[in-house]
Amino acid sequence: MRGYASIVMIVLVGLSSLSFSFSEPKGDYLQKGYYIVVAAYRIGQEKYMESYVDKLNKTGLHTKYGYDAGRKFYYIYLDYYTDFDESIQQMLITRKQGGFTDAWVRIMKEGENPVPAAANPVASIVQTEVTEDRKSEVVVEQKKVEIVSEPVQVIIEEPVSDKKAEVVVPPLKEATVLFYLYNPTNSEPIEGQVEIIDGDVARLITKVKAHEVTPIPDPKNKSGKVSLIGSSFGYRKVQHDFVLSEVTPENMPEYMEWRDDHYVIKFDLARLLRGDIETLYNVYFFNDAAVMMADSKYELNRLLEMMNSNKDYKIILHGHTNGNARGKIIKMGASKNFFELANDVVEDSGTAKDLSSERASAIKEWLVANGIDANRVEVKAWGGSRMIHDKNSNNARRNVRVEVEVIAD
């Protein structure tokens, strides 16, 4: 399979002096959606396109092809999706596991009738076969492309010349954006969120879920500065700072790109390392209890995922409470129901430090019950000695927390 990964390489080169006539396209017009594409051929290259499809299908794949009349291309694709996020995830899997290292997602906005070639002239594609099993060179108008080591089909595509087909990219402040969080070690997308901050006064404007297209809000401050903080539990946060009005198609930071009809702002989040501390702010406990609420499952699963991602991880769970008062402590009973005040809960009393210890221990027990070695998790109780807000303030609830410190990676 890996041999096919390098069969097709798309090289974008301008050719002003060449023109070709196009035959009537075969197959179906690509409808609205997202296609996992592994090769592209111009209309008129049906022989080569069908030969390649047959070659792939003989290996057990179920490849299909369709055409884009606007660009005069056939696209050979492995699968089709109606959801952008799913198509990106599957494309990455195809690159990693399927052997198609140059696979990409072809976005079709909506189905429409094929446009006659005369009505929408498109510059052509030149196909060159390199059959010698050695390093070769293809030179087009003094632009050199090196082909290395094995037979490669080189397709050279010229940009669309029809003025009506040109894509007008607006400045960032007038466009929508998609925040793309990913793991740089394997290029896989990561669930998470992005905080949009007023860069002048460090005020949170809003939080946006990653991988959803949304307008970027105007900070309405003097400088126009915006800070974006991408985060996901188990990963180090990444911050991007820029002046909103200064981001244009000609002046984009390296972490931005224009894709289809919106900007993509990328955040490469690295896993936590030894010494890093992450707070389980979305793990909630019943009052006076070391029993978690059902809403805690999502973040607990992220912690479990983190521990499973690196078998060398060892952590300390730091338990904290709001204040140091002594009082009632409700513990799990023999049923070990982590997310419900079951009939067999045990009522006891103790200090705030005792309660913080029981809560951190409940999380450890949950991890162990889900396959994590108990020797990889330690517990430390602080009670109310390290509150981050006044115990009577509106934010007092945030004092009740469990922090995760990485002590080995």
pLDDT greater than 70 at residue 208 = yes
pLDDT greater than 50 at residue 227 = yes
| Lowest-pLDDT choice from 42-46, 94-98, 159-163, 258-262 | 159-163
pLDDT grade, residue 210 (50/70/90)? very high
pLDDT greater than 70 at residue 37 = yes
Q: Which of 174, 172, 175, 217 is nearest to 198 (CA)?
A: 217
Tokens found for residue 108: 């079709």
List pLDDT tens digits, range 3-23: 444 444 333 333 333 333 445
Tokens found for residue 283: 């793990």
| Lowest-pLDDT choice from 28-32, 140-144, 335-339 | 140-144
- Domains of the chain plus CATH, in order, are 2-162 (no CATH), 172-268 (2.60.40), 277-408 (3.30.1330.60)
| Lowest-pLDDT choice from 35-39, 43-47, 149-153, 390-394 | 149-153
Q: Give, rounded to a whole angstrom, the gap between the first and last alpha carbons of the chain.
A: 35
| Lowest-pLDDT choice from 277-281, 357-361, 365-369 | 277-281
Please tell me the pTM assigned to this model: 0.57
Say if CB 106 and CB 71 are below 8 A apart: no
Q: Which of 191, 189, 156, 208 is nearest to 10 (CA)?
A: 156
Measured distance CA(14)–CA(3) in Å, rounded:
29
Measured distance CA(230)–CA(209) in Å, rounded:
10
Task: Please tell me which residue, 192 or 134, carries the higher pLDDT value.
Answer: 192
| Lowest-pLDDT choice from 104-108, 141-145, 254-258, 405-409 | 141-145
pLDDT greater than 50 at residue 162 = no
pLDDT of residue 87: 85
pLDDT grade, residue 26 (50/70/90)? confident
HEC per residue, 335-389 = CCCCCCCCCCCEEEEECHHHHHHHHHHHHHHHHHHCCCCHHHEEEEEEECCCCCC
HSE, side-chain direction, 13 A CA sphere, residue 161: 15
Q: Which residues pair with 11 in a beta bridge?
A: 156
pLDDT of residue 151: 38
pLDDT grade, residue 100 (50/70/90)? confident
Task: Please tell me which residue, 261 or 208, carries the higher pLDDT value.
Answer: 208
| Lowest-pLDDT choice from 133-142, 265-274, 283-292, 335-344 | 133-142
HEC per residue, the chain = CHHHHCCEEEEECCCCCCCCCCCCCCCEECCCEEEEEEEEEECCCHHHHHHHHHHHHCCCCCCEEEEECCCCEEEEEEEEECCHHHHHHHHHHHHHHCCCCCCEEEEECCCCCCCCHHHCCECCEEEEEECCCCCEEEEECCEEEEECCCCEEEEEECCECCHHHCCCCCCHHHCEEEEEEEECCCCEECCCEEEEEECCCCEEEEEEECCCEEECCCCCCCCCEEEEEEECCCECCEEEEEEHHHCECCECCCCEEEECCEEEEEEECCECCCCCEEECCCCCECCCECCECHHHHHHHHHHHHHHHHCCCCEEEEEEECCCCCCEEEEECCCCCCCCCCCCCCEEEEECHHHHHHHHHHHHHHHHHHCCCCHHHEEEEEEECCCCCCCCCCCCHHHHCEEEEEEEEC
List pLDDT tens digits, range 278-330: 999 899 999 999 999 999 999 999 999 999 999 999 999 999 999 898 999 99
pLDDT grade, residue 355 (50/70/90)? very high
pLDDT of residue 80: 86
pLDDT greater than 70 at residue 378 = yes
Mean pLDDT value across the chain? 80
Measured distance CA(103)–CA(9) in Å, rounded:
10
pLDDT greater than 90 at residue 62 = no
30-33 own/partner pairs: CB under 8 Å, 24+ apart: 30/66, 30/67, 30/68, 30/75, 30/106, 30/108, 30/111, 31/108, 31/110, 31/111, 32/82, 32/108, 32/109, 32/110, 32/111, 33/80, 33/81, 33/82, 33/108
**Mean pLDDT confidence for 191-209:** 94
pLDDT of residue 166: 52
